[in-house]
Amino acid sequence: MRGSFTYCNPTKLYFGKSALKNLASELEKYGPKVQLIYGGGSIKKNGVYDQVCEALTACGKTVIEDGGVMPNPTVEKLREGVQIARDNDVDLLLAVGGGSCCDYAKAVSVSVHADDDPWEKYYVRFEDPDCEIVPVGCVLTMAGTGSEMNGGAVITNHETKQKIGHVFGTEVMPKFTVLNPMFTLSLPHYQMVAGIYDIFNHICEQYFSGADDNVSDYISEGLMRSLIHSSRIANIDPEDYEARSNIMWTATWALNTLLSRGKSTDWMVHMLGQAAGAYTDATHGMTLAAVSLPYYKYLIRTAGEACVAKFARFATEVWGISTEGEDGLIRSQAEIAFAGLDALEAWMNELGLVMSLRELGADEDMIDGIAASTIILKGGYKVLSREEVAEILKESL
């Protein structure tokens, strides 16, 4: 393990078909005014809204509605949510929806009592909260982001063409989350598979880094194998509860701060995908799918031995790729690594993921802007130059 670290995750999880029954006992811990945060209306169609409202009413809560949180929540919507919370002096922010609602609730939570504009404070200056934080609870309806058990809050600013994530500390993580896989069954196939790829890539971002022997990598390989298995079942039969429940649980563990303990992490696929998202407003998981293979192929070609060895390990441990070629001879590490990426690509095609930025609305004229908007991180196998970022983005078109 690298360095010294603290591990604490304060989010209490309630999982399973009857998980929502626990909402009442959680609500009792907070004051009477609840800001009910939700998206564009899916929860009204699938009955989750009614079930949540029933619990709120039974607990005697005053509900302050805050619907219309869009996928990739914007800074304008964030400012609106902050105003609603201030005007009503709310005691709890209850997010009912996917990662966008959870992220938004967290961004509101740290901004209600802050003096400065939230975008400037948290997304430009990256300051830590220094004010009272309104507690957040979550009822998740989409598996993917891990936002239900982490401190991440990604906000999009269309004016400056930036999509930026601030990973807050434990004090901002949801106090509790209700995870009922049944609530995810109404997801359109497009969103289901985008979520599955988001989960997969969260694991990859924390796996493709370092040359040390690290327990996280073994956990990651298990999570990836389970996800591939369940995704194939859910892709054919989205109603399969066992598969959908495994996917939901994997999503939480893929990004709840466990895997990153004691190891370096990459996150460049997310930086590329988020920058593309700022220009296209495309579905998060699909932006990751579009840039992943060009980025990984570029790494194997240029980032050195430790990188190639890790991608070869990914091939053998996650995809079951043989170290021997068809001629019976041991293949080179690079050959094995590329065979692993072929297996990854085949799985992505099987799920029906969008594999090009052009299909998501990007074009050649946007490349320089997206490259300029990409945050370059240093934790992976290679620190990219701005030119290399542009090259990978062109490959992703």
Q: Which residues of this protein are in contact with Zn ion, per CB under 5 A?
A: 198
The answer to whether 351 contacts ligand NZQ (rule: CB under 6 A) is no
Nearest in space to 224 (alpha carbons), one of 251, 245, 242: 251
Q: Which is nearer to ligand NZQ, 67 or 369 (CB)?
A: 67
**Kindly report the CA angle at 163 between 167 and 185, in degrees rounded to 5?**
80
Residue 100, burial from CB neighbour count under 10 angstroms (0-12, 13-18, 19+): buried
Q: Which is nearer to ligand NZQ, 142 or 357 (CB)?
A: 142
User: CA quadruple 117, 379, 286, 243: dihedral positive or negative?
Assistant: negative
Residue 169 C-beta: closest distance to ligand NZQ, Å: 13
| The one among 51, 74, 100, 264 contacting ligand NZQ by CB under 6 A | 100
The answer to whether 184 contacts ligand NZQ (rule: CB under 6 A) is yes
The answer to whether 244 contacts ligand NZQ (rule: CB under 6 A) is no
Residue 183 C-beta: closest distance to ligand NZQ, Å: 5
What is the DSSP pairing of strand 152-157 with strand 136-140?
Answer: unpaired
3-state percent helix, strand, coil for the chain, nearest multiple of 5: 55, 10, 35
Cβ pair 154, 274 in contact under 8 A: yes
- Which one of ligand NZQ, Zn ion, none is in contact with 88 (Cβ closer than 5 to 8 A by kind)? none
Rg (CA), the chain: 21
| The one among 244, 284, 310, 331 contacting ligand NZQ by CB under 6 A | 284
Which listed range, 139-147, 290-298, 302-310, 379-387, lies at the site for ligand NZQ (CB under 6 A)? 139-147
Q: One-letter amino acid identity for 23?
A: L
The answer to whether 180 contacts ligand NZQ (rule: CB under 6 A) is no
Nearest in space to 250 (alpha carbons), one of 230, 223, 229: 223
- Which one of Zn ion, ligand NZQ, none is in contact with 191 (Cβ closer than 5 to 8 A by kind)? ligand NZQ
CA 192 – CA 66 distance, rounded (Å): 25
Q: Which is nearer to ligand NZQ, 183 or 279 (CB)?
A: 183
The answer to whether 39 contacts ligand NZQ (rule: CB under 6 A) is yes
For the beta carbon of residue 369, count every other beta carbon within 10 angstroms: 15
| The one among 32, 40, 169, 325 contacting ligand NZQ by CB under 6 A | 40
- Which one of ligand NZQ, Zn ion, none is in contact with 252 (Cβ closer than 5 to 8 A by kind)? none
Binding mask 48-77 for ligand NZQ (x = CB under 6 A): -----------------------xx-----
Nearest in space to 292 (alpha carbons), one of 276, 305, 309: 276
Q: Taking the mean position of all CA atoms in its chain, how far away is CA 220? A: 15
| The one among 172, 255, 353, 367 contacting ligand NZQ by CB under 6 A | 255
In the structure encoding, which two tokens stand for residue 88, read together? 């009503």
Looking up tokens 């959870």 gives: 102
The answer to whether 81 contacts ligand NZQ (rule: CB under 6 A) is no
- Which one of Zn ion, ligand NZQ, none is in contact with 231 (Cβ closer than 5 to 8 A by kind)? none
CA 363 – CA 378 distance, rounded (Å): 27
- Spatial neighbors of 278 by CB under 8 A, at least 6 apart, are 156, 157, 158, 161, 162, 163, 370, 373
Residue 288 C-beta: closest distance to ligand NZQ, Å: 8
- Which one of ligand NZQ, Zn ion, none is in contact with 90 (Cβ closer than 5 to 8 A by kind)? none
**Kindly report the CA angle at 72 between 50 and 289, in degrees rounded to 5?**
110
- Spatial neighbors of 128 by CB under 8 A, at least 6 apart, are 168, 169
Q: Which is nearer to ligand NZQ, 98 or 118 (CB)?
A: 98
The answer to whether 304 contacts ligand NZQ (rule: CB under 6 A) is no
CA 19 – CA 367 distance, rounded (Å): 45
Residue 275 C-beta: closest distance to Zn ion, Å: 13
Q: Please compute, for residue 173, the number of CA atoms within 13 A of its CA located in the half-sphere on the CB side.
A: 19
| The one among 99, 129, 135, 210 contacting ligand NZQ by CB under 6 A | 99
| The one among 51, 150, 209, 292 contacting ligand NZQ by CB under 6 A | 150
Q: Which is nearer to Zn ion, 35 or 257 (CB)?
A: 257
Q: Which residues bind ligand NZQ (CB under 6 A)?
A: 39-43, 46, 71-72, 97-101, 103, 141-142, 144-147, 150, 152, 154, 165, 183-184, 186-187, 191, 195, 198, 255, 270, 284
